[in-house]
Amino acid sequence: MIEFWHWWVLAVLLGALETVAPGAAFLWLGGAAALVGFVLLVWPSLPWEHQGLLFALLAIAALVGTRFLSRRSAHTTHTPHLNRRTAQYIGTLHTLDGPIVNGRGRAQIGDGLWTVEGPDLPAGTRVRIVGAEGTLLKVEKA
């Protein structure tokens, strides 16, 4: 006979599995198992077939509900270039730290020295960043 604590153990195991394989799917399955355990506290004579059916229905409802809510709450961020640092600099003005010779030079941008690509220009020239390719910033005279 399956008892309430069996479902709670399953809920804990599914929660632990979520830490190893994140994606929120096991978290909701664990929640469904915990709810079935609570139902068994109230109604301990519930047959195992009904327990399994209740678990399946709760799990499906949780997964579908999560998908529905995540689509509704999808929004744009106020920092779209957070993980693309070079893209943050496009359109900004900077002074060349050294000359651009044969299309390559260096510019002090923020707290770092960056490689820039553009037309040959002397050191001290103001440039505008017009593009980025990896860690290389493309510039033009401002």
The answer to whether the Cα torsion of 12, 15, 20, 21 is positive or negative is: positive
> Which pTM was predicted?
0.51
Per-residue pLDDT tens digits for 28-43 = 899 999 999 999 999 9
- The whole-number average pLDDT for the span 12-35 is 88
Domain final residue pick, 50, 75, 100 = 75
Q: How many domains does the chain have?
A: 2
Instruction: Give 116: exposed, middle or buried? Use CB within 10 Å, 0-12, 13-18, 19+.
Output: buried
Per-residue pLDDT tens digits for 84-99 = 778 888 899 999 988 9
State the residue range of the domain holding 42. 4-75
**Distance between CA 65 and CA 48 in Å, rounded?**
25
If asked whether residues 60 and 89 sit together in one domain, one would say no
**Distance between CA 77 and CA 81 in Å, rounded?**
9
Neighbour count for residue 38 (Cβ, 10 Å) = 12
Mean pLDDT of the chain: 87
Q: What is the pLDDT of residue 48?
A: 92
**Distance between CA 103 and CA 125 in Å, rounded?**
14
If asked whether residues 130 and 71 sit together in one domain, one would say no
pLDDT band at residue 75 using 50, 70 and 90 as cut-offs: low
If asked whether residues 54 and 33 sit together in one domain, one would say yes
